[in-house]
Structure 1
Amino acid sequence: MIRDFNKIRTFLTIARTKSFSQTSKKLGISQPAVTQQIRLIEDYLEQHVFIRKKNGTKLTKVGKSFLTVCQKIEKTLQKAENEVIDIINKKMIFDFGTSFVVGNYILPNYLNKIKEGIKNDVNIEVSTSAEALDKLEDGDVDMALIDVPNDSKNIVFKEWMDDEIVIFSNQKLPAKLTSNDILNYKWVCRDRDSNTRQIFKEALELSNLPDCDHFNIISESSSPTSIINTVLKSDKNSTPTVSIVSKFALEDYISSGMIYISKIEKKINRKLYIAYHKEKKYDLFVDKVTAFLMNHKSK
């Protein structure tokens, strides 16, 4: 009986109107039907819930206790209904899975504009590109913003923006590095499986410069934040400690004079991608988010 909210609705309406006849009109059911529903409640509880008098209907002691329970049920159902309406209206949190650079250094620059543009709260889960794509395929995030696409047939990839990888140090560097410079510096390298390291190796080869495997490597890391902090804390009176990272990650440090950048002959560029599940290819909400991102690219 508790699972039948029609009876509970009838009971609550009588408790509020204090009238079986008004309840009949309000709910659009016959008065005998109202009476029958209350009788079923009383049979279930094995006690009366209302006393009918000339001046109106009053709750019994048991009826008052039952009213408290019914009000809790009503409140829970109303909350659930509102949540369903939010889902229908797409008023839920939109989850982005992102690579380190996108999540830590690009999206925060215009997160509020994204929220306003898609009229939704936004959550960012920062990890590697591979982990973000795994979450996307598993349905744990709505969209992935990454720098390394995979070959999944379940995911749609769209080129989003260009990302420039730069060489940097906490000391001033030549505008363009030579082989001697590169071999002399102390390097904090990306880990060997890193896509960023692979892109750098290719750019070195095209610039006729030594392979990074032959550098003076003092440490390796997969975290851009850790790499930046290591370079920042290096001795400024010693041989420069250098590394590579997305220029997006260095903008504040460059403008404040804490970091200096340099380049090689071949520009080190890569693409960043918007990714979503192919089942949402024609989803209007995903289309809206994609369009907003495409029109609000960081420069």
Structure 2
Amino acid sequence: MVKDTIDTFKLAASYTIGSHILPGKPISDISQKLHSKIKLKITTCDKIIEGLKKSEYDLGLIETPIFDNSLIYKEWMKDELVICSKMPIPNSIDENELGKYRLIARKKDSLTRIVISNFLENIGLSYKNFKSISEINNPTAMIQSIKWSKPNRENPTVAIVSQIAIEDELKRKELHISRIKNHPIIRKFYLIYNQNSHNYIDIEEIIKSLQNWR
């Protein structure tokens, strides 16, 4: 049973999770269970790790794990990174076709970009296979850039983003998705907290609630 003595529960979430997954029912459920206010900080995964180690946050939600022995990690959900476009595109894009796509990518120091770079390298490709690359520092801006991009059948603008983050747009057929060589890019989201946290019972209760959400 969650106690009702917490004044403010401090969450820290990475950009995709904090902007596209937590808002709505998940964060409302946490607030109701704890009978407390929720303070949500949206930042990068590495800063969440550092904040948890300093006890600045009660619970962190990250999309790219950075493992640290002082923290407890719980698997949350699987996510797939997909190529998305405003225009319908083939379900699978092969190496020769990549050269016609203009890619909107995360900054080079982004952990998500590193994940994608490693995936491309494993199948014998790189970001250089795309026609051109522009960089944006967060996934929400990437998605909005795709939604506002001008239709171009010869050189469509695309981005590699979380499929969960664009679920609503896919249902409304505002965006369309594809995969590279029909290979999925699967990753796991993690719920993490400091092993020395004074309210770990409450945190574990919230973790169970989030794990049962989807």
TM exceeding 0.5: yes
Report the equivalent of 1:229: 144
Code of the residue aligned with 1:108 in structure 2: it is P
Could you say which residue in structure 2 is the equivalent of 1:103? 18
TM-score by length of 2: 0.88
Deviation string 1:174-203 (CA, Å, 9 cap, x unpaired) is: 011111221111111122222222222333
TM-score by length of 1: 0.65
Percentage identity across aligned positions? 29
**Alignment deviations for residues 23-53 of structure 1 (CA, whole Å, 9 cap, x no partner):** xxxxxxxxxxxxxxxxxxxxxxxxxxxxxxx
* SS of equivalent residue, structure 1 residue 150: coil
- Cα gap change, 1:170 to 1:130, in 2 (>3 Å): same
> Which one-letter code corresponds to 1:198 in the other structure?
I
Deviation at 1:97, TM superposition (A): 0.5
1:248 aligns with 2:173: no
Of the three residues 99, 109, 112, the one matched with 1:193 is 109
Aligned residue in 2 for 1:6: none
**In the alignment, does 2:38 pair up with 1:122?**
yes
Q: Which structure has the larger Rg over C-alpha atoms? A: 1
Aligned to 1:189, the other structure's residue is in SS state strand
Alignment-derived partner of residue 284 in structure 1: 201
Query: Residue in 2 aligned with 1:268?
Result: 185
Specify the SS of the correspondent of 1:174.
Answer: coil
- Using the TM superposition, give the Cα deviation of residue 136 of structure 1 relative to its aligned residue in structure 2, in angstroms: 1.5
SS in 1 for 2:92: coil
3-state SS of 1:252 partner:
helix
Q: Which moved more, 1:233-242 or 1:95-104?
A: 233-242
State the SS of the aligned residue for 1:171. coil
- 1:282 positional shift: 7.6
Aligned counterpart, 2:9: 94
Give the counterpart letter for 2:71 in structure 1: I
Q: Structure 2 residue aligned with 1:155, among 68, 71, 79?
A: 71
The letter of the residue matching 1:279 is N
CA contact (8 A) 1:204 1:266 kept: no
Corresponding residue of 1:293: 210
Contact kept in structure 1, 2:98 and 2:129, CA below 8 Å:
no
Letter in 1 for 2:156: P
Residues paired across the two proteins, number: 209
Relative to total residues, which structure has the larger strand share, 1 or 2? 2
Q: Highest relative contact order (Cα 8 Å, sep 6+), 1 or 2?
A: 2
Summarize deviations over 1:115-152 as a string: whole Å, max 9, x none. 22333322211011111222212222111001223243
RMSD: 2.0
Measure the CA separation in 2 of the matches of 1:203 and 1:218: 17
1:273–1:281 distance in 2 versus 1, CA, 3 Å: farther
Separation of aligned partners in 2, 1:201 and 1:269:
13
Q: Distance in 1 between matches of 2:18 and 2:117?
A: 25
Residue of structure 1 equivalent to 2:28 = 112
Letter in 2 for 1:212: Y
Q: Secondary structure at the match of 2:196?
A: helix
Q: Secondary structure at the match of 1:251?
A: helix
1:258 aligned counterpart, secondary structure: coil
Structure 1 unpaired stretches of 5+? 1-87
